[in-house]
């Protein structure tokens, strides 16, 4: 019995869709194929016709290769067919994206002048940590008051758990820490997450903010500073570039 037919029957029995049946439906909804190298090549062509990014196509093909590997181990697919599927190459990525970054003057313009409102103080402290520390959005929204510590007479964010659960200690410039202190003092935040929501009445509400809120903060600041196509991750690149220009070592950056 063909491999795809077995999985299709199991899917109908459990009322769920499997990766291979979804793959086959994407190529031709009204036909059933064997699971082999030709089918996977057609699937790659189908993804390319949808104008998906090469990274997206390669992620999906990696899942198909893994499926073939597991099916071969369990005896549902012959080793020769599985080997043929694993040999299907991913989509080529043409060129290299260098991203975007700001100069020192643009960074100062983006930060703007200190504000008297709670929202203004919060947003300025967010931008200060993005530029001065190169934090990711998820790292920023998870910061707590106890994360800021003094090490060797310098303020740092200690034992920050970042992408891939990598742990690192991030130095905090004095001007960035000053912006954070202004926000926490004005908002009377002594414990818990540092960044909270601010209502239209300029009142604190909730226990935190989402990474999407950081994106809105950066977009609003970029609009005021007349900087186009600026994303939060561009401020991480800006931090790395400014550190390098200031004499920082690549290993530390």
Tens digit of pLDDT for each residue in 107-128? 999 998 888 899 999 999 999 9
Angle of helix 37-49 relative to helix 54-73, nearest 10 degrees? 160
Q: d(Cα 45, Cα 68) in Å, to the nearest integer?
A: 18
Q: What is the mean pLDDT of the chain?
A: 84
Which position has the token pair 């043409």? 94
Residue 253 has pLDDT above 90, yes or no: no
Q: How far is CA 186 from the centre of its chain?
A: 30
Using an 8 Å Cβ cutoff, are 115 and 156 in contact? no
pLDDT score for 3: 47
Residue 176 has pLDDT above 70, yes or no: yes
The number of C-alpha atoms within 13 Å of 11 and in the hemisphere containing its C-beta is 15
The average pLDDT across 232-250 equals 83
Residue 1 has pLDDT above 50, yes or no: no
Nearest to 135 by CA among 231, 209, 239, 228: 239
Percent of the chain scoring above 70 in pLDDT: 83
Torsion region of 174: left, alpha or beta (phi above 0 gives left; psi -120 to 50 gives alpha): alpha
Q: How far is CA 157 from the centre of its chain?
A: 20
pTM: predicted TM-score of the whole model, two decimal places? 0.64
Show the tokens assigned to 159: 């034992």
Q: d(Cα 7, Cα 27) in Å, to the nearest integer?
A: 16
Nearest to 175 by CA among 217, 209, 218, 127: 127
Using an 8 Å Cβ cutoff, are 187 and 130 in contact? no
Using an 8 Å Cβ cutoff, are 119 and 198 in contact? yes
pLDDT score for 163: 85
Sheet holding 154-161, edge to edge: 148-151, 154-161, 167-171
Tens digit of pLDDT for each residue in 135-147? 999 999 999 999 9
Which contacts of 224-231 are long-range, i.e. CB under 8 A and separated by 24 or more positions?
224/112, 225/106, 225/109, 225/110, 225/112, 227/102, 227/106, 227/109, 227/110, 229/100, 230/100, 230/102, 230/110, 231/100
What φ, ψ does residue 155 adopt, rounded to 5°? -80, 135
Tens digit of pLDDT for each residue in 201-224? 989 988 899 999 999 999 999 999
Q: d(Cα 116, Cα 186) in Å, to the nearest integer?
A: 9
SS3 161: strand
pLDDT score for 93: 75
pLDDT score for 9: 52
């Amino acid at each position: 019995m063909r491999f795809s037919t077995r999985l299709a029957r199991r899917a109908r029995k459990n009322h769920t869709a499997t990766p291979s049946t979804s793959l086959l439906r994407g190529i031709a909804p009204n036909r059933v194929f064997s699971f082999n190298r030709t089918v996977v090549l057609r699937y790659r062509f189908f993804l390319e016709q949808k104008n998906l990014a090469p990274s997206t196509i390669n992620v999906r093909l990696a899942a198909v290769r893994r499926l073939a590997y597991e099916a071969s181990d369990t005896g549902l697919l012959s080793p020769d067919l599985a080997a043929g599927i694993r040999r299907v190459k991913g989509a080529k990525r043409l060129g290299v994206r260098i991203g975007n970054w700001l100069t020192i003057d643009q960074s100062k313009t983006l930060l703007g002048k200190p504000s008297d409102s709670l929202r203004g103080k919060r947003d300025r402290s967010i931008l200060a940590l993005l530029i001065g520390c190169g934090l990711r959005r998820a790292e920023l929204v998870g910061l707590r008051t106890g994360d800021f510590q003094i090490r060797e007479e310098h303020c740092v964010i200690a034992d920050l758990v970042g992408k891939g659960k990598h742990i690192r200690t991030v130095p905090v410039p004095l001007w960035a820490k000053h912006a954070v202190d202004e926000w926490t003092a004005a908002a009377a935040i002594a414990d818990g997450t540092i960044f909270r929501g601010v209502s239209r009445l300029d009142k604190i509400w909730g226990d935190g903010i989402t990474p999407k809120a950081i994106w809105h903060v950066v977009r609003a600041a970029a609009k005021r500073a007349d900087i186009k196509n600026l994303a939060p991750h561009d401020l991480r690149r800006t931090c790395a570039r400014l550190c390098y220009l200031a004499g920082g070592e690549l290993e530390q950056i």
